[in-house]
Structures are given as structure tokens and as C-alpha cells.
Amino acid sequence: MTIAAGAHAPDFTLPASRGRTVSSAALRGSPYVLYFYPKADTSGCTKEACAFQEALPQLGTLGITVIGVSRDPIRALDRFADKYSLEFPLASDAEGKLTEAYGVWVEKSMYGKKYMGIERSTFLVTADGLVAKVWPKVKVEGHAAEVLAAAKAI
């Protein structure tokens, strides 16, 4: 089950692209966007990442950090970030603790075959560490703009 708006955002510390580490402790006092995506360098995930990159200056003026999270290994995230000049951190949740804590590790189905994977979801977290808004089952088109609009309201 996905974490609901109003809940405390789960704590995390994860390795991220370009030798960074991201953590909820370091973000305390600042709002942030945590978006979960299935796999680096696939079409939908690339469109979503590029849209967030495009919105980054506006989100930055609001003091909002963007972090993309997948279960990809760091090497794949570094290649993805370099290929598309993504400035925000892409975090590797290789062990799956954060994807499970947020409830985005779900059973999916493709061509009749069931498997476990990340449900594309986004969470806007306030400076107090509370989830302000949740977007489950994200449709990529126009999503970054929706997040930006909601971010302006917190």
C-alpha cells in the first residue's frame, strides 16, 4: 500500500549518481520530490527524467530538491545521468527497502506474465518530513508540471 498524504516520509540513505549520497536526514528542513521509476534509460523513464530536469530551475527557486529512485545499480544510473545531462541525483535502492517502505514495489503484469516491479509514483515531501502529495500510477505526460504546481502550494 502506498504511503498517503499526511504520513511521515520514511527515512532513507541511498547511494546516488555521480558519487553522491542522498538521505532524508540531510534533506530535513527542505521540501523534496521523491519520484520512483521502473528502469533507467527506458522510454517512459527517460521522458520523465528529462521533464524533471527541465522543471529543475523552477523547483530550485522553491527550494525543492528532486531525487529519482529505482532499483538500478549505480553504474546504470551514472550512464543514464550522463547520457541525458541529469543534474539531480538518481538514487539506487538496490536492496528495495525504500521502494517497499513507500509501497511502490508491486505485482505487475505484462503480456499475461506477472512479475514484481516499481509502480511509477511520485511523493512531494514538506520541510517537516510529511508527505504533502502523492501521485500513484503516474502518467509521464505533463507530470512534472503537476508536481511543480503542487510544489508552489506548499
Query: What positions carry a catalytic annotation?
Result: 45
H helices of 62-104, where?
Answer: 74-83, 97-101
C-alpha to C-alpha distance for 37 and 139, rounded to whole angstroms: 11
Torsion over CA: 127, 130, 133, 135 (sign): positive
The x, y and z cell numbers of residue 50, run together, are 528529462
On whether the CB atoms of residues 122 and 134 are closer than 8 A, the answer is yes
